[in-house]
A and B are shown apart, each in its own frame.
Chain A
Amino acid sequence: MSDITSHASHERTASATGAVLSQNRPDLSCSAGYDHEPKSNTPVQISVRGLKKNYQRGSNVIPVLRGVDLDIREGEFVAIVGQSGCGKSTLLHILGTLDQPDAGEIVFSDQRIDNLAARKRDRLRNNTFGLIFQFYHLLPELNAEGNVLLPLMIGQGFFGYLSKRWAFRRRAAELLEKVHLSHRRKHKPRELSGGEMQRVAIARALVNGPQVLLADEPTGNLDRAAGQEIFEILRNLNATENLTIVMVTHDEKLAEQADRTVRLVEGRIE
């Protein structure tokens, strides 16, 4: 069942993505593989300097990041590639303030974010960064709409949410429409295919209007077609909403389609 629906939705999405694109950016081509526009003229949004991170395994200290320096400009689509265990995901987690570095600093919009208080980092994750994961990470208890609404529920107080819930629902419906999942609004994650779940996750990441989208191997668990489709959505978002996207992947073909590819080898940028 899920195979059939995912297959069907792939076809639908392939054409629908084009439709969305043509509405928003009529000057862009509908085909996969955009023209690379190097965004070298926009200001630097995220600046990483001398980032180090070690993991403790028993008595052994395993260095994961050994001094990463990286600048990401506003509206840039950066792909981070590297072998398994080279620290790509750790770097992304630290960028997304899920983890803290042992040394070095991260400056986001002229503000250091790696040493912020827990509360401020929570706020940042809630409304400035959007995160997407390889395993989708949807809450099984909530349906697609509930999962998309979750960051809003977290960000708003009880009464704040209640008073604006109709606006929020409209926003969630719009986003689900955007990822072509309007028909799956009331479905639980277990009733969705992998590609559909990832699209719900993208809608969830976008619901609070983030400035940066951090994607940790968003296509790693999908077949090529579904993965390409997810990538198209990301590419489209980058293009239409000028959203900064940092994507970790080990798929070289996808990485090539990004604005810039950063190669991480043994904890350092190559």
Chain B
Amino acid sequence: MYKLVLCWRYLQTRYIALASVISVTLGVATLIVVNSVMSGFTHEMQFRIHGILSDIVFDGHGLEGFADSQWHMQRIRQIAGDDIQAMTPTVHVPAMLNYRVGQRWVHRQVNFIGIDPATYSLVSDCADYLQHPKNRDAPSFQLRDGGYDVQDRELGEESPYRHGMEMAGWPHRRRIGAEEKAWVAAQKKNNPQLAVPERVGRADPFSGIATPLRAAESEAGVVQQWGPVSEDQVYDKATQQETGVIIGYALAQVLGREGDHYFLVLPGDDVKLTFPTAGTPPKAVSGSFTVVDFYQSKMSEYDSAFVFAPIEKLQEMRGMINPSTGVANVNSIQVKLREGADIEAVRDKLRAAFPPELYAISTWRDKQGPLLAAVQMETAILNILLFLIIAVAGFGILAIFFMIVVEKTKDIGILKSLGASGGGVMAIFLSYGLLLGSVGSGAGLVLGLLFVNNIDHVRRSVEWISGQPVFDPSIYYFQEIPTLVDPQMIVWVIMGAMAIAVIASVLPALRAARLHPVEALRYE
């Protein structure tokens, strides 16, 4: 009983000891904040990645793909039928996106994906990331008649304004179509000899560059074989569109001075895509496409690389359809499992059934393994470093406890003269350490949770004071710093901090326990 009474009294009267646990408080608070932010990021990232990628990706090696997706899907269903919710074939190909800004052409390296919009939206949340409300309900490659989001719909009013999006879609296309028509007419009037091609809208960007390869392609007739408008028809840009593509938001967007979003390309503009054919050796083909929507998953890796087009179009352009049978090749099959299915187990079943030299079968986690592992390692290292901070705080407690034991030497003598055992005296200082540890980590817990809950206020005030952006939403695509408080993590952190406080008090407590009562009483 006296142990409790005394360590409680010491806690009330020894403020210097409270100062020593401030470092424990700060350490615990930092650990909680860092872990919450890191797991918030991880969770948010996983959520987004999982939304973009399907549960299991069934890949054929190489650009050529494998034939007959229907047969493969049947086979997959036979193997893991119970767990499968939906499947969709896709065609993946590295490509170059080209569009014109003013007088110059801009080229971007992209990941060109052919999808079946009806079934693709069943396996991933891709439709949720589109910028037109109707496309979110039912994605389509037809250009919409305006109504695109002028601000981020998740972030709402405060998010940066998207200049030009208010007129994106057909209104924008009609305007540029009319402008081009007027320009052609003016050119013709000024210089009747100049042969201005009728189909300005489909003007081949590379027509002026005469390369042998280019000539060969033209001879083979590959380039000109496709398009919704046949050669003899007059193509009117203001009323007609090319095959639609959905391009990644970051491919088109640039930041204005105020942080507003401007666009190099808007839905309604035409872009060129250049990509390899399926044959050997692969040849480059180019095609003209109309941007119909933006894809914004807020994972910059994907937003700056993905371009979606109808799968049939891609198969046709890349020569993936067997002319004799009419069966098309695909590069991969995206598999969506039902809720609660064991993704790894299904992957392993599929891996057992399909020869690995022909197919690469991986889960979304495997695909993002390095990224998730890197985040995990960062978290682990930060945890070790921060625990070292608390350990340093432990030495502070050790030093101050030694001082308190020296200061309390006489009291220890008194207690022993009244019959307190060495163990009892030791228990006073150990429980004092525990009490200080709990006070320190309790304060740290409160501080950490307050910080996490108000992290955006904190961020804003730090930005206001320093004038430097701490967290740039345009880099991370999160308007707010994501946080996730894991109760288990908190229990571990607090137990660790208290353990360090108790361990630091062991040596001083031992010294107190070993004091000789007569010597202690004589101590002045």
A162 CB-CB contact with B under 8 Å: yes
Smallest CB separation, A221 vs chain B (Å): 13
How far is A161 from B424 in the complex, measured between Cα atoms in Å?
A: 15
Q: Interface residue tally of chain B, by bracket?
A: 20 to 34
| Other contacts beyond A99-B517, A122-B420, A157-B1: 14, CB < 8 A | A96-B417, A98-B517, A99-B518, A124-B419, A125-B416, A125-B418, A125-B419, A127-B419, A139-B415, A141-B9, A141-B13, A150-B418, A154-B420, A158-B1
Smallest CB separation, A249 vs chain B (Å): 18
Question: With A99-B518, A126-B419 given, is the CB distance from A139 to B411 under 8 Å?
Answer: yes
A151 CB-CB contact with B under 8 Å: yes
Question: With A154-B2, A156-B1, A162-B1 given, is the CB distance from A119 to B414 under 8 Å?
Answer: no
Nearest CB in chain B to that of A138: its residue = B414
B521 CB contacts on chain A under 8 angstroms: 98, 133, 137
Option from B13, B417, B424, B518 in Cβ contact (under 8 Å) with A137: B417
Are the C-beta atoms of A118 and B415 separated by less than 8 Å?
A: no
Name A residues whose Cβ lies closer than 8 Å to a Cβ of B. Answer: 93, 96, 98-99, 118-119, 122-127, 131, 133, 137-142, 146, 150-151, 153-158, 161-162, 204
How far is A123 from B420 in the complex, measured between Cα atoms in Å?
A: 8
13 pairs of residues in contact across A and B, judged by CB atoms under 8 Å: A93-B518, A98-B518, A122-B420, A125-B417, A125-B418, A141-B6, A141-B9, A142-B6, A146-B5, A153-B5, A154-B419, A156-B1, A158-B1
Are the C-beta atoms of A150 and B518 separated by less than 8 Å?
A: no
Question: With A119-B421, A141-B13 given, is the CB distance from A154 to B415 under 8 Å?
Answer: yes
Smallest CB separation, B519 vs chain A (Å): 9
Are the C-beta atoms of B5 and A151 separated by less than 8 Å?
A: no
A156 CB contacts on chain B under 8 angstroms: 1
B1 CB contacts on chain A under 8 angstroms: 153, 156-158, 161-162
B422 CB contacts on chain A under 8 angstroms: 118
How far is A93 from B5 in the complex, measured between Cα atoms in Å?
A: 27
Nearest CB in chain B to that of A140: its residue = B411
Interface 1/0s, chain B 1-28, versus A by CB < 8 A? 1101110011001000000000000000
Smallest CB separation, B407 vs chain A (Å): 11
Nearest CB in chain B to that of A128: its residue = B419
Option from A96, A137, A138, A146 in Cβ contact (under 8 Å) with B413: A137
How far is A124 from B245 in the complex, measured between Cα atoms in Å?
A: 93
Smallest CB separation, B431 vs chain A (Å): 12
Smallest CB separation, A148 vs chain B (Å): 11
Nearest CB in chain B to that of A214: its residue = B417
Smallest CB separation, A98 vs chain B (Å): 5
B4 CB contacts on chain A under 8 angstroms: 158
How far is A158 from B427 in the complex, measured between Cα atoms in Å?
A: 13
Smallest CB separation, A206 vs chain B (Å): 12
Name B residues whose Cβ lies closer than 8 Å to a Cβ of A. Answer: 1-2, 4-6, 9-10, 13, 410-411, 413-422, 424, 516-518, 521
How far is A156 from B410 in the complex, measured between Cα atoms in Å?
A: 22
How far is A66 from B314 in the complex, measured between Cα atoms in Å?
A: 111
A125 CB contacts on chain B under 8 angstroms: 416-419
Does more than half of chain A's interface fall in helix, strand or loop, or is it mixed? helix
Question: Which of A93, A122, A123 neighbours the largest number of chain B CB atoms within 10 Å of its CB?
Answer: A122
B13 CB contacts on chain A under 8 angstroms: 141
The 9 closest A-B pairs by CB, nearest first: A126-B419, A153-B2, A141-B9, A161-B1, A125-B419, A153-B1, A137-B414, A122-B421, A98-B517
Are the C-beta atoms of A131 and B9 separated by less than 8 Å?
A: no
Nearest CB in chain B to that of A133: its residue = B521
Smallest CB separation, A11 vs chain B (Å): 30
Does more than half of chain B's interface fall in helix, strand or loop, or is it mixed? helix
Nearest CB in chain A to that of B419: its residue = A126
How far is A122 from B5 in the complex, measured between Cα atoms in Å?
A: 20
How far is A127 from B418 in the complex, measured between Cα atoms in Å?
A: 9
How far is A98 from B10 in the complex, measured between Cα atoms in Å?
A: 25
Are the C-beta atoms of B418 and A151 separated by less than 8 Å?
A: yes
How far is A41 from B2 in the complex, measured between Cα atoms in Å?
A: 41
How far is A161 from B419 in the complex, measured between Cα atoms in Å?
A: 15
How far is A162 from B1 in the complex, measured between Cα atoms in Å?
A: 8
Nearest CB in chain B to that of A98: its residue = B517
Nearest CB in chain B to that of A156: its residue = B1
Option from A118, A131, A162 in Cβ contact (under 8 Å) with B421: A118
Smallest CB separation, A211 vs chain B (Å): 14
B415 CB contacts on chain A under 8 angstroms: 139, 150, 154
Question: Which of B13, B415, B418, B517 neighbours the largest number of chain A CB atoms within 10 Å of its CB?
Answer: B418
Are the C-beta atoms of A139 and B414 separated by less than 8 Å?
A: yes
A99 CB contacts on chain B under 8 angstroms: 516-518
Are the C-beta atoms of A98 and B5 separated by less than 8 Å?
A: no
Option from A93, A151, A162 in Cβ contact (under 8 Å) with B419: A151
How far is A139 from B10 in the complex, measured between Cα atoms in Å?
A: 11
Are the C-beta atoms of B416 and A139 separated by less than 8 Å?
A: no
Question: With A93-B518, A157-B1 given, is the CB distance from A98 to B6 under 8 Å?
Answer: no
Question: With A153-B2, A156-B1 given, is the CB distance from A122 to B417 under 8 Å?
Answer: no
How far is A77 from B296 in the complex, measured between Cα atoms in Å?
A: 96
How far is A137 from B421 in the complex, measured between Cα atoms in Å?
A: 18
Nearest CB in chain A to that of B519: its residue = A99
A153 CB contacts on chain B under 8 angstroms: 1-2, 5
Question: With A118-B422, A139-B6, A158-B4 given, is the CB distance from A98 to B414 under 8 Å?
Answer: no
Smallest CB separation, A144 vs chain B (Å): 14
A150 CB contacts on chain B under 8 angstroms: 2, 415, 418
Question: With A93-B518, A99-B518, A118-B422 given, is the CB distance from A131 to B417 under 8 Å?
Answer: yes
How far is A154 from B5 in the complex, measured between Cα atoms in Å?
A: 11
B416 CB contacts on chain A under 8 angstroms: 98, 122, 125
Smallest CB separation, A54 vs chain B (Å): 14
B424 CB contacts on chain A under 8 angstroms: 154
A119 CB contacts on chain B under 8 angstroms: 421
How far is A66 from B299 in the complex, measured between Cα atoms in Å?
A: 89
Are the C-beta atoms of A141 and B10 separated by less than 8 Å?
A: yes
Smallest CB separation, B405 vs chain A (Å): 15
B420 CB contacts on chain A under 8 angstroms: 122, 126, 154
B421 CB contacts on chain A under 8 angstroms: 118-119, 122
How far is A156 from B2 in the complex, measured between Cα atoms in Å?
A: 9
Smallest CB separation, A9 vs chain B (Å): 23
A161 CB contacts on chain B under 8 angstroms: 1
How far is A153 from B7 in the complex, measured between Cα atoms in Å?
A: 13
Question: Which of A131, A141, A146, A157 neighbours the largest number of chain B CB atoms within 10 Å of its CB?
Answer: A141
How far is A151 from B419 in the complex, measured between Cα atoms in Å?
A: 7
A137 CB contacts on chain B under 8 angstroms: 410, 413-414, 417, 521
Are the C-beta atoms of B413 and A122 separated by less than 8 Å?
A: no
How far is A225 from B169 in the complex, measured between Cα atoms in Å?
A: 106
How far is A138 from B415 in the complex, measured between Cα atoms in Å?
A: 10
Question: With A98-B517, A98-B518 given, is the CB distance from A142 to B417 under 8 Å?
Answer: no
Smallest CB separation, B416 vs chain A (Å): 7
Smallest CB separation, B121 vs chain A (Å): 66
A131 CB contacts on chain B under 8 angstroms: 417-418
